[in-house]
Chain A
Amino acid sequence: MKDVEMKMLERAKALLESGEVARVIGWKKGDFCFDPAPASFETVEELDNFVYDYFCGANLSKYLIQMSKKEGKTAVFLKPCDTYSFNQLVKEHRIKRENVYVIAVECMAKLDIEKIKAKGISMVESVEVVGKEVKVTSAYGVETLYKPDVVLTKCATCTKTHQVKDEEIILHERPARDVDRFEEVAKLEAMTADERFAFWREQLSKCIRCNACRNVCPACSCVKCVFDNPASGIAAKANDDKFEEQLFHVIRAFHVAGRCTDCGECSRVCPQNIPLHLLNRKFIKDIDNLYGEYQAGETDEGKTPLTSYTEGDAEPNDVMNGEAK
């Protein structure tokens, strides 16, 4: 990871020094080793705070909506999953492509500090990853964890590879992994309606409507969101005791259906640890089954499943009765 970071830093410096780009979007050091934050660097000096490590899970593509409209080019580091969001945003004309310089970087599967803490380790000071081992140094000593146990959920079920062309790629491109990202969805589908309802009630009633999932989502890029409209009756910060939790999540998932790249940011940022990816993946799974496999953000052109149709599409009632496949 250190060598990737070095190379990234080198590129960032060179691009800023030569004036080829006006700013670089990357991650800067946080207060702790586990909370680096997205940041924009405009000078070489500012790069002193630059960091790229196993906690840089944030997807930077959404920042380009604003940054690409500024004067001068913006360089951005994109991990494999982020490149899909980037393509999707370009396709939706939200990013000025010509103003962006993409540097695709290897991710190496990011760590989830919550999962590390859940192992009973607190006051984490530093981590070191060697192969499948994570050595965590805390105020109480050193512990070694098995990496697949503590990576971000989105990384654990990731099947993505870099999707941007004509730009430089730092370090080797990772081959696509073969994992079944729909496993959990299928488990839920196999339950009875009562069990599913109980599952979601338990999950969604934790929601505090902080809106973090919406704010971080690259597919939620509307200038004025329906949930910010006071006339909608659901603009309130906290959910009422009505069915608003469901309403918010159904509508949000529906609005990003066919456009959600499954970048996993929503689940990553949710302070309540609600498995939001299980909502979006249901739509993705249904779309794949009914209208042919579709991966949003694989390219930056073409129609999405919900803005197209074929005459022989499945009938809703057949879908509901499980007869359409």
Chain B
Amino acid sequence: MQEVTTEKKEFTPNIVAFCCNWCSYAGADLAGSSRLTYPANVKIIRVPCSCRVNPMFILKAFQQGADGVILCGCHPGDCHYVTGNYYTRRRMSLLFSFLSYMGIEKERTRVEWVSAAEGARFSAVMNDFVKTVTELGENKRLTDLRIKEGK
């Protein structure tokens, strides 16, 4: 009898991270210069403020093949533009809750506050998010609605 080896190809998710220029983007820099690692499949998009992120950006990221989208901004109270992230907080609470309501796995979306001084936190957040999405697997729900189950 021949032995069947099922070699599973490891899934590496595509992660899009929207990072605020004034905090988490600098936090990513600090992580780098402190030689802390975060997975290379995290694609950072720099935005002037977390509240610059239009819900459309997030949906488009999923459409173009992202498996998870994370939004990072300054801690509430520390916004470079004073109040931007307060609006982000409401918007994203509602949007992500809504996506979950539509059946999108809630683990695929996340908001984290990471300051410019938190290089270690940036690295930890990204590692954790990538791990979560890897366990979850590929995003199928926000790409093609008409794919029938089992095909």
Residues of A at under 8 Å CB distance from B? 188-189, 193-201, 204-205, 226, 232, 241-243, 245-247, 250-251, 253-254, 257, 279, 282-283, 286-287, 290-291, 305-307, 309, 311, 313-317, 319-321, 324
Contact = CB atoms under 8 A, between A and B. Distances in A.
B46 interface: no
A306 B86 CA distance: 10
A243 B144 contact: yes
Interface stretch (B9-17, B31-39, B55-63): B55-63
A320 B109 contact: yes
A198 B94 CA distance: 21
Contacts of B55: 250-251, 254
B100 A193 contact: yes
B89 A320 contact: no
A242 B91 CA distance: 25
A246 to B, nearest CB: 6
Contacts of B63: 242-243, 247
Given A283-B94, A313-B89, A314-B93, A246 B102 contact: yes
Contacts of A257: 94
Interface string B110-134: 1110000000000000000000000
A interface SS class:
helix
Contacts of A319: 93, 96-97
Nearest to A198: B103
A242 B141 CA distance: 10
A252 B144 CA distance: 19
A198 B81 CA distance: 41
Contacts of B106: 193, 320-321
Nearest to A282: B101
Nearest to A289: B97
Contacts of B146: 205, 241
Contacts, number: 123
* Closest 5 pairs (CB-CB, A-B): A197-B103, A309-B86, A196-B103, A316-B111, A319-B93
Contact of A316 (B96, B104, B105, B141): B96
Contacts of A204: 145
Interface string B61-79: 0110000000000001100
Given A283-B94, A314-B93, A316-B96, A188 B101 contact: yes
Given A205-B146, A247-B63, A316-B111, A196 B90 contact: no
B93 A282 contact: no
B142 A243 contact: yes
Nearest to A245: B145
The residue among B62, B91, B143 with the most chain A CB atoms within 10 A of its own CB is: B91
Contact of A200 (B76, B91, B102, B110): B102
30 contacts: A193-B103, A193-B104, A194-B103, A196-B101, A197-B141, A199-B103, A200-B103, A201-B103, A241-B146, A242-B144, A243-B62, A245-B145, A246-B59, A246-B102, A250-B59, A279-B98, A282-B101, A283-B94, A283-B98, A286-B94, A291-B90, A306-B91, A309-B87, A311-B77, A311-B86, A316-B89, A317-B110, A319-B97, A320-B100, A321-B106
Contact of B111 (A253, A317, A321, A324): A317
Given A246-B145, A254-B98, A316 B93 contact: yes
Contacts of A305: 90
A264 B59 CA distance: 26
A228 to B, nearest CB: 14
Given A243-B144, A309-B83, A309-B87, A286 B103 contact: no
B90 A306 contact: yes
B92 interface: yes
